[in-house]
Amino acid sequence: MIAVESRASLTNLMTATIENAEQEREMDVKEAVQIAKKYVIDLFEEEGISDIGLEEVVFASNSWTITIGFSRPWNRNIGSVLGGQVSRSYKALRIQDEDGRVLSVKDRALGDSE
């Protein structure tokens, strides 16, 4: 009986914690991704990037870390020489949840964990 009550209490606590975490966020995941993609497009506009895509989303400590992948013209040229494998660049953007401000842009290699 105690184990069942504890499990129910734990489930209620977890549900309340998730709901509170969602309520504390200023923007939802789609808004954060939109900001990240727009920022990458604007920042790398002169490089002629293409194939822009979402790779990863993390929310922690009142900020979003959004990883965006894209191809650069020289990646496509190298890829055609190497038999069609096009390498991609990955950038991890940290975005302040409160106001949508981009706090940092870092290189993100596959296999990195943050």
Long-range contacts of 45-51 (CB under 8 A, 24+ apart): 47/72, 47/73, 48/72, 48/73, 49/89, 50/76, 51/86, 51/88
pLDDT tens string 6-63: 555 545 544 444 444 555 789 999 999 999 999 999 999 999 999 999 999 999 999 9
- Segment 72-92, tens digit of pLDDT: 887 765 545 566 666 889 999
Mapped onto helix, strand or coil, the DSSP state of residue 54 is strand
Fill in the DSSP letter of residue 27: S
Three-state DSSP state, 67: strand
| Model-wide pTM > 0.85 | no
